[in-house]
Structure 1
Amino acid sequence: MKLFRSVAAIATATALTFGAGSALTADAAPVNPQQAAGNAAVGTVKNWNAHPAPKAVTTGETAKWVNEVDHKKVWAFWVSSPSMGRDIPVAVIPARNDKGELVKNAPTIYMLNGAGGAEQDSDWLTYAETQKFYEKKGVNVVIPMEGAFSYYTDWLNTPNAAYFKGPQKWETFLTKELPGPIEKRLGADNRRAILGFSMSGTSALLLPEKVPGFYDAAASFSGCAATSSPAAYNFARLTVNRGAGSAANFKTVTPEQMWGPMGGPYNRANDALLNAEKLRGTKLYVSTATGLAAEQDMVSYIAAKGAPAVAAHAASLTLQVEGGVIEAAINTCNHDLKAKLDSLKIPAHYEFRNVGTHSWPFWRMDLENSWNKTIKPAFGM
């Protein structure tokens, strides 16, 4: 059992995760939070002590990311969601300059976790040293710390399952309820970007299509834009099924609950490939690998990180088999996206790696690459 836990931890840490009016500037997106929200009720930003710290579903213990909250380098709030009827924990890395001083009128990056997210202790703060990367970049970073297995979309029906605490209205929360209040609290301007990986790599392309002109930039790491084709829809089935926890049986949580029948109107409305024209004007970063093993997937690399020999072999096998298959499928998705965007003459920056699996080492690379090649230029910084 101890060895199994070690293998699982190494595989996760090294790799897989299945998973008020802002001031306008010359570089700002043309749509502001009030316009995006329309007549929808917006959230309220509440202090961190408004509720007990959230727990990870997998362990029942306080989520690991909470340890990063020092109210200096990493802040945290609860933001109410009128559409979901509950408060959502949100981590914030406030904008600071190279002297460590807080910066006002800074842009905001919304980062979405992968499938298991903070509920499985597999989030941006825990596994990517995100705070260290952004600490002197002069940007605010906002990370919702709930939403595992949700695709950050508005579900038609609420699943009764371990990872779902009630209505799932993430599109509404992320585009209408959260931005205005949190950006006002941070003194941010109207520049913003969104990024995600794996499951949320889909969301990071879809949400800008739902509110064109709201995001200056969008970055998708190992995400699949398509959702309504047979392969893509059933890939989503594999993902959301895991939200049932130990009761996973492909019936408790389904894509039909999320988007209705495959190829139906609501499913097609939530297909970022079909609606790619709406990405025009948003600076795009898209990454994928082939699924072929890279250095980071090898036994020797994992062992050099301190893993025992048996655990290193097991973790490497998991990466190369499971992570390889997933990334190979994602590779096809992203070449389809490139073909569609090319046909529409919509530019994007592509990071198509010859080797690499569906794993954290490559998303950490994407964190830096997307900033330097797409997001920073989009912000005019």
Structure 2
Amino acid sequence: MNLKSFPPSATRKALVPVVAMTLVCGTAAPAMAQSDPGSLDPTSIGNIGSITKMGGSVDPSSAAAGSATVGSTGSTGTHSLEGLGTLPPIGTGSQNTSATPPIGMEAEPIETTKVRNIEIGDPMVAGGDPRFERWWIESKSMNRILPVEIWRASSDAPAPMLYLLDGVDSPSPSGWLLPGHIQDVFADEHVTLVMPTRADGSLHADWQHDDPVLSRNKWQTFLTQELPPLLESGEHAIPFNGKRGMAGLSMGAASAVTTAERAPSGMYQAVGAIAGCYTARDDLGFLLAKIVAETRGGNIANMWGQRNSPAYAENDGLLHAEKLRGKALYFATATGMPDANEWQRNDNDLLKFSQGAGLEIATHACTVDMDHRLKELNIPARVDYLPTGMHNWDNFSRFLAPMRDNVMPALR
């Protein structure tokens, strides 16, 4: 397949410096904090109020966001993104390693993937409702013990399984539960929700090399080969009707698409993706992938290697979109434009505000490209665009019910 058949659009090229600047604008924050807030024109971006707080995290999609600084992407010229290594620091800071402390592996190799323990209920999730379970899985492929969170169907009748992949911090409890309240959105559906967690900065990919901070990542292997047998058969089997969906948001949106494309044919009947980017082969996509890995302390070189590595093509959602044919598909994004109350909802946090705008501007462009690609292939999909909304759960939550309505008919 000829990679040159899918050139980056002029829009995506133009967005690279814009997105890079918005994501690293914390470098200008001290000077802006000293300026007169009254000099800003509130009509230009809605009712922003006064600037009283700086800080925030690169990805407001996570429930854990807001704890650390983001690394700089450096120059924004086309050739500047061809290198590897970690993002240069801003000021005296460094990569966001406080958000992701080094993840360790087990001292002794895990010989068999199995369930180590199951916890029933968590006071943080729906007041301890026993439909919530946290399964601790020993993964042979990653040599790690991973928490997978389950929201059980309302009865023991066989139900489909909908996998939900988180954003960059991949927190536990899952962001889908807190603050997404996905269990309420699906309250009237007979479905088991499966939320793998602690995939921090990994793009849920199979990495080529172990990473000093992000450890060993073989997420596609785990999601498609190791986890399903534990859920669907054996000692701890959950009643299953044979149908699976794969959905994600932000980092997890890209992961959901590539996982579904690379999985065995027929493994998933539905795919949902909210505010994601579906290629890392052009500058915009590479910048976003680099930010995902490196603001959580990892090195993108350990994921897919040099930019000319075949792994970038192998994990390209646009390039392999044909493999989505026959599935119920849902894609969604906003524009990055704030509404009148966005500033207050971002706690008057300039960095969080600007990063939320920049990320959603980028994912809007990425979603448009996926929309065009699916139309080119004559593959039916529902693609929702909203005129305002930034890269955060206030925005994501608006797409959950439409996604449910689009994917569930294929899973019942």
Normalised-by-shorter TM-score class: 0.7 to 0.9
Structure 2 residue identity aligned to 1:72? P
Q: Percent same amino acid among aligned pairs?
A: 28
Distance apart, 1:68 and its partner CA: 2.4
In structure 2, distance between residues paired with 1:288 and 1:13: 13
Name the residue aligned to 1:338: 371
Deviations 1:131-161 (A, max 9, x none): 2333442100111121010000000011101
1:14 and 1:169 mapped to 2: Cα distance? Answer: 21
| 1:48 matches 2:118 | yes
Query: How far 1:318 sits from its partner (Å)?
Result: 4.2
Q: Which runs of 5+ in 2 are unaligned?
A: 1-50, 67-110
Structure 1 residues 148-227: aligned runs within 5 Å: 148-161=200-213, 164=214, 166-184=215-233, 185-211=237-263, 212-227=265-280
Cα 1:293–1:5 change in 2 (3 A) is: closer
In structure 2, relative to structure 1, the CA distance for the partners of 1:275 and 1:296 (3 Å cut) is farther
The 1:295–1:95 alpha-carbon spacing in structure 2 relative to 1, beyond 3 Å, is: farther
Residue 294 of structure 1 deviates from its aligned partner by 2.4
71-80 or 137-146, larger mean C-alpha shift: 71-80
Superposition pairs of residues 1-12 of structure 1, within 5 angstroms:
12=60
**Distance in 1 (alpha carbons) for counterparts of 2:54 and 2:301:** 36
Count residues with an aligned counterpart: 312
**Residue of structure 1 in register with 2:321 after alignment:** 276
Specify every segment of 5 or more residues in structure 1 that has no aligned partner in the other structure, as ranges: 19-40, 54-63, 97-101, 245-252, 303-310
State the 4+ residue runs in structure 1 displaced beyond 6 angstroms.
3-7, 13-16
User: Which shifted more, 186-195 or 70-79?
Assistant: 70-79
The residue that corresponds to 2:176 in the other structure is: 124
- CA deviations over 1:164-189 (Å, ceiling 9, x no partner): 2x310000000110012112311212
Amino acid at match of 1:279: L
1:12 Cα deviation after fit? 4.8
**Residue in structure 2 matched with residue 266 of structure 1 by the alignment:** 311
Match of 2:87 in 1: none
- Pair 1:354-2:387 in alignment: yes
How much is the aligned-residue C-alpha RMSD, in angstroms? 2.9
Secondary structure, aligned partner of 2:296? helix
| Alpha-carbon offset, residue 43 of structure 1 | 3.0
Instruction: Give the aligned partner of residue 375 of structure 1.
Output: 407
The match for 1:72 is 130
Is 1:238 the counterpart of 2:295? The answer is no
**d(CA) in 2 for partners of 1:5 and 1:80?**
42
How does the TM-score come out when normalised to structure 2?
0.69
Structure-2 separation of matches of 1:81 and 1:280: 31
2:141 maps to which residue? 83
Give the Cα–Cα distance (whole angstroms) in 2 for the partners of residues 328 and 112 of structure 1: 21
Contact 1:103 1:138 in 2 (8 A): no
1:321 and 1:378 map into 2 onto residues whose CA distance is: 38
Residue 333 (structure 2) aligns with:
288
- Shift in alpha-carbon separation, 1:286–1:181, aligned structure 2, 3 A: same
- SS of alignment partner, residue 125 of structure 1: coil
Instruction: Tell me the residue number matched to 1:255.
Output: 300
Equivalent of 2:158, from 102, 105, 109? 105
How far is the alpha carbon of 1:234 from its aligned partner?
A: 2.1
- Paired residue type of 2:410: A
2:341 aligned with 1:324: no
User: In the alignment, residue 355 of structure 2 is paired with which amino acid?
Assistant: E
Q: Given residue 44 of structure 1, which amino acid in structure 2 is its aligned partner?
A: K
State the secondary structure of the residue aligned to 1:202: helix
Q: Which has the larger radius of gyration?
A: 2
More helix as a share of residues:
1
1:230 positional shift? 2.3
What residue identity is the alignment partner of 2:338?
A
CA distance in 1, matches of 2:141, 2:335: 39
CA distance in 1, matches of 2:144, 2:63: 32
Cα 1:180/1:223, change in 2 over 3 Å: same
Deviation at 1:354, TM superposition (A): 1.3
- Would you say the 8 A contact 1:16–1:358 is kept in 2? no
Q: Is the 8 A contact 2:56 2:351 kept in 1?
A: no
